[in-house]
Amino acid sequence: MTFEFKKQEIEDLVISFIVLTLVFSRFNIKIIPYVAVGIFTAFIFHEIAHRQVARKYGYYAIYRRWDTGIMLALFLGILSKLLGLRFLFVAVGAVQVYSLYVGWEDREAYGKISLAGPVTNILVGIIAIALLSFGKPSGVVGVSLYYAAYINLLLAFFNLLPIPPLDGYKVLKWNPGYWAVAIGTAFLLQSLL
């Protein structure tokens, strides 16, 4: 399994990463470094998990930013900050999966591809919570771990909502049991923060 990236894919990931970091930090320069750790472990790992599982199944998969989503995220993030709201829009792109056989879709493969991102977020969230709970880190490390746990679990839960085109819709279509366990776990773990 290869981790080869195209130049455009790297550019799309970097732009999406920067926009998400700005929006999640609420444009607060003091917390941008901590939020960046959370976004890197949540967003980048999430998208790479989708991509790599799709490639494991023999699909061509690549991350593409969504420019309309990028603009909406920034506009709504700025508006939310100015109005004192807590609203975030985070749909800035997605891994696009292509099959050699147009119109052919393996429901199980697509379900597992869709589940890979949120499960990665849940695992990172569990590791961050464990390190926070047992290691009792403070300062930069503690704040970075908190944001890593918070953002990963928030994105896992959000992406598992059963609304098209989110991951949860595809997972639920494939296997309601796996969907229920995943969204329930993401919701439960958020309560530990």
> What pLDDT was estimated at residue 138?
87
The structure tokens 């589940």 sit at 115
> What pLDDT was estimated at residue 36?
98
Task: Report the residue count for the chain.
Answer: 193
> What pLDDT was estimated at residue 106?
83
- Of 4, 9, 11, 47, the catalytic one is 47
Catalytic residue list contains 11? no
Tokens, residue 36: 């960046």
Burial (CB count within 10 angstroms: exposed 0-12, middle 13-18, buried 19+), residue 65? buried
Chunked into runs of 10 residues, the chain (193 residues) has average pLDDT values of 83 98 97 97 97 93 96 96 91 90 76 97 97 89 96 96 95 97 97 90
Rounded Cα gap, residues 163 and 189, in angstroms: 21
The structure tokens 């790479």 sit at 48
> What pLDDT was estimated at residue 5?
87
Classify 84 in phi/psi space as left (phi over 0), alpha (psi -120 to 50) or beta: left
